[in-house]
Each structure stands twice: as C-alpha cells, then as structure tokens.
Structure 1
Amino acid sequence: MGKEFQVCEISHSDCRKVIGEKLKSKDFKVLDHEQIPFSERNGYLGEHCTLRIDIERDGLEESFTFFVKAPPRSQSQRNFLEEINGHFKEKSFFNKYCPKLKKHGVDILDGAVPTCYHIGDEIFIFDDLKALGYDTLPSRAPLTVDCVKAALSASAKLHASGLILEERLSFRLTDEFASEVSETFYSGTKSPERAMKSCKEGLRALIDVTHKPEMKIGKEAFAERVLEGCDMQKVYVRPSTRFRNTICHADPWTKNFLFKFEAGRPINCVVVDFQTYRYGPPAQDVLAFIYLVTDRGTRDAHLDDLLHFYYAELAANMEKYGVKDVVTKTEFFDSCDYFKRFALTQTLAHFQVVILSDEIAEELFGDPDKSERVIFGDGRRDFVVTVWQRDPIFRQKNSEIIADLREFYEAQLTL
C-alpha cells in the first residue's frame, strides 16, 4: 500500500518531536515518514500501524520504527471509545501517572509498559516493541505457564506502582487521579449500555447451546444467575471498601501483553493499552487475566501456584521500595475468592469477540453495519450461535468457561 495507506494524519513536526524524544537530541533532520499497515487486526478499540521515520544525523541516514494507535474508523466504536473516555484515560496514564511515579523516584514501570513519545488530539506514538524483539501471542491459544508468569510479573509491577506511590505520599490515588481512575465501562452511558445488553443476548445463546437436561441447575435458573452476575459487574469494579485498591489495567486479555523470548522462554513482558485502567484490588486483574488466557486444564493444575507466584512478585516489588504488608497474603487470597465470579463473567463476555478466528473477525469488523448490529444491536444472539457452529475453538473455550461458571453456581447451592 505504501504511501497511500494512512491510519491517521501524522505531520513532519510530529515526526520531529518523536525522534527528538527518542534520541534526546535536536541534532538531526527528518527526511521522510511512512505509515505501514499491519497484516492482522491488533485490537478492537483502535486502528494501528507501524510508523517509519527516516532521518539524517551526523551525515548518515537512519530509519526508526514506532507503533501508532488511532481511534477506530467505525463510528459506533469511536462513540464507544469516547463514552468510556478511553483517549483521556490513556493520555493521563502516560502524561500524568507515569511522570508522577518518576517524580517520586518510583521507576518500577521501566520495561513493564511501553515508552510513549507523542500524544496528539487523537493519536499515540509508542516504541515499536516488535522491532525491539517483542511478540503478541494469539488470543485463541492458551498461554504457557511461563508466559502467564511473565505477564503476572509485569502486572505485579503495575499494581505495586500505585501502592508504593500511595505509601510514599500518604494519600490515595483517588485524591489526585479521581477522574483518571474512575470506572467508565460500566458507567451507564449509552454505548456501553447497548454493548452490555447485546452481550447478555450472547450469554443467553451460549447457555442455550451448552445446556443439557441432566445438569444440576436448570437452564432458566442458570441464565438468571449469569445475567445477575453481569449486572453485578458494576459493583465489582468500584473501589473496594474491604480490600486495598491500586492501579488496575482492567482489560487484561492476551493482546494487551507483549513478550520477549530467549531460547524459547519469555524473559520479559510489557503491558499495553490503558484505555480502561481503574482503581481497584489487584485480584480483579489477576483473576480476570488467568481465566482469559488459560485453558481449564492449566487452571486445574496451576491456579494456586500462579496466585502464589503473583503475590510473591507483588510483595518483592513493594519491598524494593521499603513498602511491606499493605496487602497481606490472606487479604489477597480472600480477594481472589471474592472476584472469581467477576472474572468468570468478564471472560464469558470477552470470549464472544476476542477469540474469533481471523476470517470471522474480518467478516464482522470489515462490515460496519454488521459490527454495529452484533456489538451494539440485536444481532449478537444469531452471531454467537453461528460462530459456535462454525468454529471449534470458539466452541471449546466458551464451553470451558460456561462449565466453570456453572460449577461456581452449583457450589453455592450446597452452601
């Protein structure tokens, strides 16, 4: 596509600013720049591309690449992003929260979140992590235990950053970052409400196609509990009065973690996309992440180990900055029990969209009218049933979460 391809408007002065930030110098000349399309979709609430900038420095020509993030082209998705305040939240994370950490000597997020070189009215320009050796992994395949631990380690740094800052300044983040960390996805605005209504229709479809007469909970009783769980999400995402809160990512699915490998093993993980970050207990992220990126067999074999691993990482990161016991192990595991229903419900909602095959995703998002009907309208039920019939991976992953959720509610019947 070459020069004809454009995700957004990027000016010569934008490129000069980006390179200046990258090199910490003004001694260069921008020769040219080009936006290069990705070969596959990289997310659902934005358009993305690689930006190549050619410069001359010290008589030599050099090229640098960056990751560009712009608003979605689809008007309905753009409206959704605006209503959840996504650009403002991500802008505040990099323009306000990260500098606040640095100002107070907390460099814990270095290497755990990407470097942002430019924030415009609508666009972000970040380091090109793929050029630095990082990979995004497919959301349709479960992550290995090593990758899960690498991502939990990065998440522990994010969560620890807020706890450390609060302890150093003797305040709560909501004192200074109230609007930035406020929950917006479940705020009741028009597009999120339409999306939730559509999601519920998808859940009903999944319950219908998985139900068997011999199950302990009848279909309607199970559906009632699952839909009630959807309504309860807005309660779970409020800052807790029982557990200690901190910065949470709030959208911890596979594509928001990039991994660097050495000899086939992950040696680092970077967390990306802060359009929905919020203030809440760490377990909210941890449980949601584990259910979103693992399969049932991995959880059965490793869940307890993964939770202990995460807690050790969280405690170790805080101790480096002289902070101890602000989240005890008992509190963390109690909060994991509390957020299990939240995590299961969020996973089942996400799996209706984020684990689609490339072919089906292109059919959906390549057609604005269809994506509008499926994501925000009355087309979700038929879509879910059709994908269930066509796609064995979609069928398997949703079946596993439905089974986990059913067992969760069955256990409550015996209490």
Structure 2
Amino acid sequence: MAPYNFEGDFGNLSENQIEFINKVIEEQDLKVNKVVFKPVGQAGDNFVANVMRISIEGENGSMKMVIKVAPGDEKIRTTVKADLLFHNEHVMYTEVLPKLVALQKATGVPEEEHLRYAKCYGSLNEAPYEIILLEDLNESDFKMLNKFDSLSDECVRSILKNFAILHSVSYALKEKQPETFESFKSKLIDVWSVNFSTNEARDYFQLLESSVLANLDEEEHKSKFKSNFMEILKLPIQLAKDRDCKYSIVQQGDAWTNNIMFKFSEDKLEQSVMIDYQGSKISNPVGDILYMIFNCTDHETRSIYYYDWIDYYHTELDRCLSYYDLKINYIYPRDRLDADLRRYGKISFGLSSMLTYVLMRDTKEAGEMLETFKSGDPNDVLQLMGTQTLQGETVVRTRKRIVGLIDSFSQFGLL
C-alpha cells in the first residue's frame, strides 16, 4: 500500500508506524489527497507519549485524529516504562472501554449515561512501535484547561460523575461477567507499583523530601510533611491488597487536569471526558477520587466542597448502580467509602506531593526533565527531579500547593 501524501512533522515515525497510520486512514474511505501532521502541546503536557494531530483531506470529506506515539529510544522506553503504559492504554481502548459500553447498552442504560471516551480508530501494540489513533475531541468543542488553575466545583462534579459511571459498570461487569472482569485484571498492569518498588524510587523520595522541607517556611508544615510523606512507599503494598478486594473496580488511574477535556456552552459546563488510560488498573475507587481532587484543585476550593464532593460521588454511584439492579449498600456502602478514604489518606498525600513537583513545573523546567529522560539513566532522571533548581514562580507555586495539601489532608482527617 503506497503511503498518502504526508506533510508536516512526522520524521520521527518508524516505517511500521507510518504503514499502520496509512492503513487506518485507508479504512476511513475518504479518498485522501493529503495528511498534515502537527505536534500537540508543550513540554510537560505529555510526559510519556509524543502526541500529534493529523488533518486528513480527501475527496469524500475531511477529518482530524490525535496520534499518541511511544518513544522509540530504548533508554527512554526503559526509564518511563513505555511498554507497560502503552499496553494498558491499548487494552483499555480496544477491549475494556468497548466492553463496558456494550454492557451499558445491553442493560438499557440511557445513552446520555454511557461512558464517553475518545473513539479509537486503531492501536498498534507492538514494541517499540506502539501507536494509537484517537478521535480529536477538539472537533467536538472539548478543550483542556490550565493545569496551574484549580478546577471549579462544576468541573469536579462532572469528573466524579464520570467516575461513578466507570466504577458502576465495572461493578456490574464484575457481578454479571466475572470471567471477563478477571481477564481484564490479568491484562492491566499496575505501573505505579512497578515504579515505586525500586531502590532508586526510595532514593528519589528521600531527595524530594529534603527539597520540599527546604521550601517550606512554617515548622508545623515541615513537621506534618516529614511525618507523612514517606508513607508513599507503602503504595505498592496497598494496591496489591486492593487488586483482589471485593470493592475493586477499573480505575482510570491518572485523572489530572491535562488528562481531562471539558466542553462548555456559553461558559456552562456540558460534559467532561477522560482521555488518558495509561495508568489504568484494577483497584479501589478512592484511588481515582483522591487523585483527582488533590491534584486538580486548591485548598480554598476543597475547604468549601470536599465533603459535598464525596457525598455527590456516592449518590451518583448509587444511581448508576440501580441501572444494573445492584444495591449500593451491598456493592460499596458509605461507611466503606469513608474507611477507604482514611486508609489511603497518607499514601495519597505522599503521591500528590510527589506529583506537585512533576506536574507544576513550567515549560522550560519540564523540557529539562524530558531531556534528562533521554540520558536513559533512571538515577540521572530521579536526581534531577529531586534536586533541579526551579524558577521563582514555580517555587512559589509548588510551596503553595504543598501547604494546601498539608492543610487539606489535615482538615479532612486523612493524615
């Protein structure tokens, strides 16, 4: 099959990837004239994938797609665990998400309550050439919000509703088709545990702890941080326990601002869509809830709405479970939710603190970090992430975020 007239920045694609893109485009039956490639985002927006947008122009119409491409360099792949992350996303887009929506349809769940995700046009899961072609949600007026700004109450509620839909249909699959659920469990890999179970990770967390403590002013904040941060090392143990727990579900696994898109109509939020499933796994529902709330909002917003958000999630989960004739008090009672929030509190605090120093970097700092990935030495990467001199605005931003985490987790009884 001869390739189409490709234009733009696609020089880093391998022959295998170009052939696969060509095949997927051919399936759209557009009688293509040309395909234009453009990069998406800046340094720090996409830490693992090279993301591009393609514009396809043909005699039978035109369309756009978003392409996520795995790094080809073996050193980078090893450092970021590219094979595991792209494997997870391949499984989610080609097996799990379609199966969950099929179950919703078979059950008679109203279409507006179906799990919304970007259509997958094709996914190649052959290392080191992994590539996935997805619907361009910009074409449906979805947009990404500023990662430095706190999400609003309405945005958080929209995401919590998405979680309730995802988690409820996960429970339904677990109850009605347990063999399929177990199959997905065996295929989805907990990448957090893989990353956090190394000596290098422990060394990095110790470096990061020192950096954070040096950036804090109040002794009370320093004391609380030092008393709780290293609990992050217990994450693999906790996740292993919850993988086979009665209450486990399919987690989105990485719901921070850049992995969610929002659609507004005259400043009113209509819908949100989760767009990244590389961190997906089978685990406890509170993992998604705490991760999103504490990585996407500030202390001021949480202080007003946190308890309302937890109430809202559980109410939505109850409503969604009713489509499958499942009772919330049997599936995931409120006292269990509250207990799990406390159980994951310190671990979530450590995780959110660590992510602050990754996600809150500006473009220049994120670019330096990504360049270090290319060295291929995990020790160099972790050393930089723990000791890099940050810009003045970033120092202030990360300090405010860490202090907000300390204050919020303390206020809500999670430390």
Q: 1 CA distance for matches of 2:238 and 2:334? A: 20
Q: 1:36 aligns with which of 38, 53, 56?
A: 38
Q: For structure 1, list consecutive stretches of 5 or more residues without a partner in the other structure.
A: none
Aligned with 2:261: secondary structure?
Answer: strand
Q: 1 CA distance for matches of 2:99 and 2:119? A: 15
Once the two structures are superposed, what CA deviation does each residue of 1:169-191 show, in whole Å capped at 9, x if it has no partner? Answer: 25582x2223323423213688x
- Is the alpha carbon distance of 1:408 and 1:161 closer, same or farther for their aligned partners in structure 2, counting shifts above 3 Å? closer
| Paired positions, count | 395
The aligned residue for residue 177 of structure 2 is 169
Report the TM-score, using the length of structure 2 for normalisation. Answer: 0.84
- Is the alpha carbon distance of 1:231 and 1:195 closer, same or farther for their aligned partners in structure 2, counting shifts above 3 Å? closer
Q: 2 CA distance for matches of 1:187 and 1:276? A: 11
Once the two structures are superposed, what CA deviation does each residue of 1:108-134 show, in whole Å capped at 9, x if it has no partner? Answer: 884522111110231000000112111
Mean CA deviation greater in 350-359 or 194-203: 194-203
Q: 1 CA distance for matches of 2:363 and 2:195? A: 31
Q: 1:11 aligns with which of 18, 22, 26?
A: 18
Q: 1:356 aligns with which of 357, 361, 372?
A: 361
Once the two structures are superposed, what CA deviation does each residue of 1:261-280 show, in whole Å capped at 9, x if it has no partner? Answer: 11212111111211121111
* 1:343 and 2:348 matched: yes
CA contact (8 A) 1:195 1:376 kept: no
* 1:378 and 2:380 matched: no
CA contact (8 A) 1:46 1:70 kept: yes
The aligned residue for residue 96 of structure 2 is 97
Q: Alpha-carbon deviation of 1:315?
A: 1.6
The aligned residue for residue 3 of structure 2 is none
Q: Alpha-carbon deviation of 1:371?
A: 9.3
Q: For structure 2, list consecutive stretches of 5 or more residues without a partner in the other structure.
A: 1-5
Q: 1 CA distance for matches of 2:23 and 2:411? A: 56
Q: 1 CA distance for matches of 2:376 and 2:156? A: 31
Report the TM-score, using the length of structure 1 for normalisation. Answer: 0.84
* 1:143 and 2:174 matched: no
**Aligned AA (1:197):** D
**Aligned AA (1:119):** S
Q: 1:302 aligns with which of 301, 305, 326?
A: 305
Q: How does 1:201-350 map to 2 (within 5 A)?
A: 201-210=207-216, 212-213=218-219, 215=220, 219=223, 223=226, 225-227=228-230, 229-240=231-242, 244-325=247-328, 326-350=331-355
Q: 2 CA distance for matches of 1:177 and 1:13? A: 25
Q: 2 CA distance for matches of 1:371 and 1:295? A: 34
Q: 1 CA distance for matches of 2:204 and 2:390? A: 15
Q: 2 CA distance for matches of 1:258 and 1:4? A: 25
* 1:132 and 2:140 matched: yes
- Is the alpha carbon distance of 1:408 and 1:205 closer, same or farther for their aligned partners in structure 2, counting shifts above 3 Å? farther
Indicate the RMSD between aligned Cα atoms, in angstroms.
Answer: 3.1
Mean CA deviation greater in 332-341 or 372-381: 372-381
- Is the alpha carbon distance of 1:77 and 1:138 closer, same or farther for their aligned partners in structure 2, counting shifts above 3 Å? farther
Q: How does 1:113-124 map to 2 (within 5 A)?
A: 113-120=117-124, 121=126, 122-124=130-132
- Is the alpha carbon distance of 1:172 and 1:336 closer, same or farther for their aligned partners in structure 2, counting shifts above 3 Å? farther
- Is the alpha carbon distance of 1:249 and 1:197 closer, same or farther for their aligned partners in structure 2, counting shifts above 3 Å? farther
Q: Alpha-carbon deviation of 1:360?
A: 2.5
Once the two structures are superposed, what CA deviation does each residue of 1:334-356 show, in whole Å capped at 9, x if it has no partner? Answer: 22222222221111011111111
Q: How does 1:52-201 map to 2 (within 5 A)?
A: 52-57=55-60, 62-72=61-71, 76-82=75-81, 85-104=84-103, 105=106, 110=114, 112-120=116-124, 121=126, 122-170=130-178, 173=181, 175-187=182-194, 194-195=200-201, 197-201=203-207
CA contact (8 A) 1:7 1:70 kept: no
CA contact (8 A) 1:137 1:255 kept: yes
Q: 1 CA distance for matches of 2:20 and 2:337? A: 48
CA contact (8 A) 1:7 1:35 kept: no
- Larger % of helix: which? 2
Q: 1 CA distance for matches of 2:41 and 2:289? A: 30
Once the two structures are superposed, what CA deviation does each residue of 1:141-160 show, in whole Å capped at 9, x if it has no partner? Answer: 11011111111111222212
- Is the alpha carbon distance of 1:80 and 1:157 closer, same or farther for their aligned partners in structure 2, counting shifts above 3 Å? farther
Aligned with 1:68: secondary structure?
Answer: strand
Q: 1 CA distance for matches of 2:269 and 2:412? A: 32
Q: 1 CA distance for matches of 2:347 and 2:382? A: 24
Aligned with 1:40: secondary structure?
Answer: coil
Q: 2 CA distance for matches of 1:338 and 1:377? A: 28
Q: How does 1:369-408 map to 2 (within 5 A)?
A: 376-383=381-388, 386-387=390-391, 391-404=395-408
Q: 2 CA distance for matches of 1:406 and 1:370? A: 39
Q: Alpha-carbon deviation of 1:389?
A: 7.1
**Aligned AA (2:121):** Y
Q: 1 CA distance for matches of 2:258 and 2:118? A: 14
- Is the alpha carbon distance of 1:161 and 1:390 closer, same or farther for their aligned partners in structure 2, counting shifts above 3 Å? closer
CA contact (8 A) 1:203 1:348 kept: no
Same amino acid, percent of matched pairs: 16
Mean CA deviation greater in 198-207 or 254-263: 198-207
